[in-house]
Amino acid sequence: MGADVSMMADDLLTDGVVIEGLKRAWLESNPGIDGGHEEGGFIVLGAAGVLQVVSWAHGTQDRICVPSRRLICHVSPEGRISEAELTATILSLPD
């Protein structure tokens, strides 16, 4: 089981959607001396096997509200909503 988890982490860290989600969370957290706040989200795997980053509401300098995992859904480019499997979470701490 350990090898599967490790392989999954490697897959996530090389996935373009995940990389862009991480970059977006960091940039939107406004890193720097002043004005930074926490950003985060769920990385979900949709029914079609496609990864998506679902962002959370903006946090404050030192807090963020993590939504219920029951609310996770996958939205297709056509706007269809389906259940998705929680794969990982991301969190930026710019301060």
> Containing H/E element for 55?
strand 51-55
The string of pLDDT tens digits covering residues 48-90 is: 778 888 888 777 777 777 776 655 555 566 666 566 777 788 7
Residue 4: which pLDDT band, with cuts at 50, 70 and 90? very low
pTM assigned to the model: 0.68
C-alpha atoms less than 13 angstroms from C-alpha of 57 in its C-beta half-sphere: 7
Nearest CA to 58 among 37, 30, 31, 81? 37
Q: Is the pLDDT of residue 15 over 50?
A: yes
pLDDT tens for 21-36 read 989 988 888 887 777 8
